[in-house]
Amino acid sequence: MKWILLYWHKLRSPSNAAVGAVLGLGFVGGIMFWGAFNTGMEATNSEAFCSGCHAPIVREIKETIHYSNRSGVRAICSDCHVPHAWTDKIVRKVQASKELIAFAMGTISTDEKFYARRKHLAVREWQRMEENDSQECRNCHNFEYMDFSEQGQRSVRQHSTALASGEKTCIDCHKGVAHELPDMSNVPGWH
């Protein structure tokens, strides 16, 4: 009878070595998972990945100031279209899983399909940036550090009033700064 109790006790009490092994495996596994997860997520932020579907944009962005300019500072797709803060980024990436279905169905697989759908895609992105107060613009273009004496009169006029008061946000006026525009009829601020 006694040996049964002993055996039971042994089963119930965890061995120190096992605890260490489990913790160690968890720690190493965690690092590996995190590394792989982040690498994978970074890969979906690369220009090569984006242009796989949004091919026509690769052509048109080359003329814009966010691709080519005097000082060589550049923004790539994800700088503007993926939030930088971690939680927001995860939320956006989860939403983007829907875009994988669009990829499978070939929703924008040809130039014609892409241009036909362009307004829908653009309106969604403008909406997103209006809601987060153009956060992705502001990651680089910080209002606090704008020098109005260096800006043109027209820029000062808008930035010192509507932008300063928060009545407007960047995207309200700066649509298509890195893109060609879709049909702009019925878009506020456009003829």
Partner 1 sequence: MMKKKLILALIGVSLFMLSLANADGVGENIASSNGGVASLRGMSELNVTRAADQMKRVQRDRSPIDRDYVYQPPLIPHQTRHYELSLNANKCLSCHSWKYAGEMGATKISVTHFQSREGQVLSDVSPRRYFCLQCHVVQADAKPLVENNFKRVEALR
Residues that bind partner 1 (CB under 8 A): 63-65, 152-155, 157, 176-177, 180-184, 189-191
Cα separation of 115 and 106, whole Å? 14
CA gap 119, 61 in Å, rounded:
17
Residue of 1, 97, 143, 117 whose CA lies nearest to 54: 117
Instruction: Output the smallest distance, CB 104 to partner 1, in A.
Output: 29
Shortest approach of partner 1 to residue 102 CB, angstroms?
A: 22
Residues 27, 7: Cα–Cα separation, whole Å: 31
CB of 69 to partner 1, least distance (A): 10
Could you tell me the smallest distance in angstroms from the CB atom of residue 92 to partner 1?
A: 27
Smallest gap from Cβ 127 to partner 1, in A, equals: 18
Virtual torsion, Cα 139, 140, 143, 149, nearest 10 deg: 180
Whose Cβ is closer to partner 1: residue 14's or residue 166's?
A: 166
Q: Which is nearer to partner 1, 66 or 93 (CB)?
A: 66
Give the DSSP letter string of 54-112: -HHHHHHHTTSTTTS-SS-----HHHHHS-SSHHHHHHHHHHTHHHHHHHHHTTT-SHH
Q: Which is nearer to partner 1, 99 or 183 (CB)?
A: 183
Name which of 16 and 185 has its Cβ closer to partner 1.
185
Which CB sits closer to partner 1, 45 or 158? 158
